[in-house]
Amino acid sequence: MPPPPSRRRGYAISLAFLAPAVFFLGVWVIYPAIRTLVRSFFSDRGGEFVWFDNYTALFTDEAVQTAIKNNVIWVLVVPAGVTALGLLFAVLTERVPWAAAFKVAVFVPLAVSLFAVGVIWRIMYQQDPDRGAINAGIVAVQGIFSEQGALTTARPSTDALTGSPQGGLRLERAVGPGAVALLGLTAIKADELPDEPEQAVTPQAIPDGITGVVWRDFKPGGGTPGEVETDEVGLGGVTVKLRSAETGKTMGSTTTGKDGSFTFEGVESGSYHVAIGKETFAEPFQGFNWLGDTLITPSLLIAFLWVQAGFAMVITAAGLAAIPRDLQEAARTDGGTEWQVFRRITVPLLAPVLTVVFVTQIIGVLKVFDIVISIVPSSGRDSATVIAVEMYQSSFSGQNRFGFGSAISIFMFLLFVPFLIANIRRFRREN
């Protein structure tokens, strides 16, 4: 018996509303998925049926193997890290008076596209402390504990000074009381010269001491190396040490004046070496190479955690708000500590919510793409690549390996299936 007209009319209206969605679903999702599956069994040019050769190549291609290893790292680190951060932030927002501002600060990165996030972190990760915010902060902290040397690039002007900047320079000729030590340097950066330079002058000898001068041994128009001449500048702030020629023990230390002169007074008779301490040549912190092969993957993980922590916090906070408070209060009344209440009451009750966050993040990191593309420089892409990037590189970056790229796409889809099935089963159990 056919349905009454009113029911047929209802079906027609429903189909009319569903038709555009079904059409675009078929055009943009179903057809491309089927076409990609079929294409994965053909050669890169598409003219030859190659069976499973493209899938076999997945496990022999070096770039894809690196991508799989990196995705494994992402799966091991990101879901657990995001879930833990979300739980931590959700609990904190219940206890701090400025919870609203904290939630906004944590959630705002989620409102920005991952590509834009990558651009932000790409700038922050710059190695030059004058450009990269992270290295600039490290330099600021590092400067509290150690200082930059006065002459980071200086080198001896003659063979009279031996050694290296890393260990300090030493006047090879041993001296005694009444001697004058001349320590000429060159290759000095312009910004390390004194703001108000003073003419270097050879100091007068004193009977019971050792005097000397540290100067820039360079005279415009030419000069004699090793001799203090007119228009040659004294170098102040240089650490000079007096060491025993027999034992190498440091007997005294001083700093040169503005004209580069120094004096060791009351020196006992004996043989000594005058040296410039290595701290004079200490180079400033040049910054960590966050985008180099060694640190690039941890850098990507940090940026992704920064974005996704807001999502995890919001979901976990919603679950936390639904927990019956009488259970927590009862546990506290029975003598439970805050840690025991958190571990034995709060976390078990939040387990379904935490599972949603965890599984969602696994799916997200398996297809991570845009943040890798936007952060990683071309020089480091081979070491930081992931499966989605390799699919794109194989198919659309000029390699034109369409069959191989299709196989990578299907392989990536198959990785999602177990987690999708687990999610569907969990939803059915809850309902």
Question: Coil, strand or helix: which one is 344?
Answer: helix
182: which strand partners? 213
| Residue 263 belongs to domain spanning | 155-281
State the pLDDT at residue 411.
Answer: 92
Instruction: Please give the pLDDT value at position 209.
Output: 92
Q: Are 203 and 212 in contact (CB under 8 A)?
A: yes
Q: The domain spanning residue 178 has which CATH number?
A: 2.60.40
> Do 342 and 217 reside in the same domain of the chain?
no
Cα distance between residue 137 and residue 316, in whole Å: 32
Q: β-strand 210-216 against 180-186: which pairing, if any?
A: parallel
* Pair of tokens at residue 117: 């996030």
pLDDT tens digit sequence for 408-423:
999 998 988 888 888 7
Which of 257, 281, 305 is the C-terminal boundary of a domain? 281
How sure is the predictor about 275, in pLDDT bands with cuts at 50, 70 and 90?
very high
Q: Are 73 and 273 in contact (CB under 8 A)?
A: no
Residue 325 and residue 395 in one domain: yes
Last residue of a domain, one of 281, 307, 337: 281
226 and 270 fall within a common domain: yes
Both structure tokens of 338:
């805050």
Shared domain check, 268 and 160: yes
Same domain, 316 and 356: yes
Q: How confident is the model at residue 361 (pLDDT cuts 50, 70, 90)?
A: very high
Number of structural domains (the chain) is: 2
29 pLDDT more than 60: yes
The one-letter code for the residue type at 12 is A
Contact 82, 305 (CB under 8 A): yes
Q: What is the DSSP string of 403-418?
A: HHHHHHHHHHHHHHHH
Q: Are residues 375 and 414 in the same domain?
A: yes
Residue 271 lies in a domain: yes
CA 270 centroid distance within chain: 54
| Rounded average pLDDT over 302-327 | 89
CA–CA distance, 197 with 234 (Å, rounded to integer): 7
Nearest CA among 302, 341, 385 for reference residue 63: 385
CA torsion, points 386, 389, 394, 398, in degrees to nearest 10? -140
At 81-114, the pLDDT tens digits run 999 999 999 888 887 788 888 888 888 888 888 8
Write the CATH number for 400: 1.10.3720.10
Residue 222 has pLDDT above 70, yes or no: yes
Q: Within this chain, do residues 294 and 393 fall inside the same structural domain, yes or no? A: yes
Are residues 109 and 208 both part of a single domain? no
Q: Are residues 343 and 298 part of one domain?
A: yes
Judgement on whether residues 52 and 116 belong to the same structural domain of the protein: yes
Instruction: Please answer whether residues 241 and 252 qualify as being in contact, where contact means their C-beta atoms are separated by less than 8 angstroms.
Output: yes
Examine the pLDDT at 3 and tell me if it is beyond 60.
no
CA-CA-CA-CA torsion sign (374, 376, 377, 379): negative
> Does the residue 114 lie in any domain?
yes
Whether the pTM exceeds 0.75: the reply is no
Contact 261, 201 (CB under 8 A): yes
* One domain, residues 271 and 294: no
Q: How far apart are CA 36 and CA 29, in angstroms?
A: 11
